[in-house]
Amino acid sequence: MRKAKRGKHIPMKYILKEITPLGKHDLFIANYWPDNQMDFPLHFHKDYELNLTLNVRGKRILGNLSEEFTEHDLVLVNPDTLHCYKRSDESGDTRCEVVVVQFPCTLPEWGIFDTDQMHPIRDLLTQPAPGLKFSAETATALRDRLLRLPRTEGFEATLLFLEILNYLASVDRATIEPIGLQNTEHSFSHSRRINRIVQFVEQNYRHKIALEDIGRLVGMSPSSVSRFFKTRTRHNFWDYLSGFRIDRAAQMIIETEQTISEICYSCGFNNISNFNRVFRKRTGTTPSEYRQAFKASVVRQQ
C-alpha cells in the first residue's frame, strides 16, 4: 500500500477514464484534501473507491443517479462506475475535507478474503450495485480513522485499512443504501451502451475509429451515437477519444523508454505535429517536457 505522491497539477479537462495510481503491489492508496474544490469531471476507473466528504453539501452523480449529499457523506464506489461530486453554491467559503481511498478491483478475489474472518468484507465488496451509501452515523464513527489513514504507513496502515473495511462490513445492513442505478430498464440500457462504447475505445484507441463502427456495436446511427454520448456523459465523443489517447500516451512516456514518435503512432495519432499540439493543450506541456519533468521529479525524491 502507499500514498499517492503529489506533483505538478496537470489539467485534465476531458477525462472520462481515469487511470488510478495503484501499482500492482499496492493494497491501497489514500489521499487527503483539506480544501477540495470538487472540480474533477465525470469519470470512472477500474478500481474501488471509498469517498469521505465533510463540511459541505452538493450533488453527487454516481452511475445513472444524481442526488444531494450532506456534510457527512461516505460512499463506496464500485469498479467501472461513472461518478463525480459538485459542491453547492451555498457552501460558500467552507473548506471541504475529502478522503479518497482507492483499492484494487480484484481485492475480493484474493485468497485471504475466502476465509471465514474475511467473508463479511468480501460480501460487502460484491454487492450488485454501482455504489453503497453509508449512514451519517457510520461516516462520523469512521471519520477519525479515515483522516488518519493517509498519514499512516507500513503494517499499521494495513491494519487500519482492514479495520475500516471490517467496520463497514459489520454495520447494520439496513443502514446501507445501494445507489447509482435508477430502477428502470431504460436507464440500465443506457448505462450498458455507454460501457460498451468506453470498452470499445479502450480496446481500439490505437487504430482509426469511426462512429459507424460504434453505431454497429450499440445499434445506433453515427449521428445518434454522437448525440447519445454527449447527453449521457457531458463529453463530446471526439474530445473524449483524444483525451483517452493522450492519457495513455502520458502513461507510456513515464513508464517506457519508447521515443515520442513511437508513442504518438501507437496511441492512434497519425502525425507527430498534431500529437504535440493536442498533448500540450491537454497537459500544458510538450511530450518531451513532460518526460523531462517526470525524470527530474524522480531525482528530487531520491
What is the residue whose three cell numbers read 463529453?
Answer: 235
Contact status, residue 188 vs residue 180, Cβ threshold 8 Å? no
How many whole angstroms from its chain centre is CA 110? 22
Amino acid at 138: T
DSSP element (H, E) containing 260 = helix 260-266
Name which of 235, 249, 260 is nearest 205 in CA terms. Answer: 249
Contact status, residue 16 vs residue 233, Cβ threshold 8 Å? yes
DSSP element (H, E) containing 141 = helix 136-148
Beta bridge partners of 76: 50, 132
pLDDT by residue, tens only, the chain of 302 residues:
444 433 333 333 333 556 667 777 889 999 898 888 787 777 778 899 999 999 999 988 887 677 889 899 999 998 888 788 888 877 667 889 999 999 999 998 898 988 888 989 998 998 877 889 999 999 999 999 999 999 998 999 999 999 999 999 999 988 898 887 544 333 434 457 877 887 888 889 999 999 999 999 989 999 899 888 887 766 788 888 888 888 788 878 877 889 999 999 999 999 999 999 998 887 778 999 888 877 775 555 45
How many whole angstroms from its chain centre is CA 32? 15
Could you tell me the pTM of the whole model?
A: 0.58
Which three cell numbers mark 229? 454520448
Phi first, then psi: what are they for 179, rounded to 5°?
-135, 165
Distance CA 70, CA 85 (A): 12
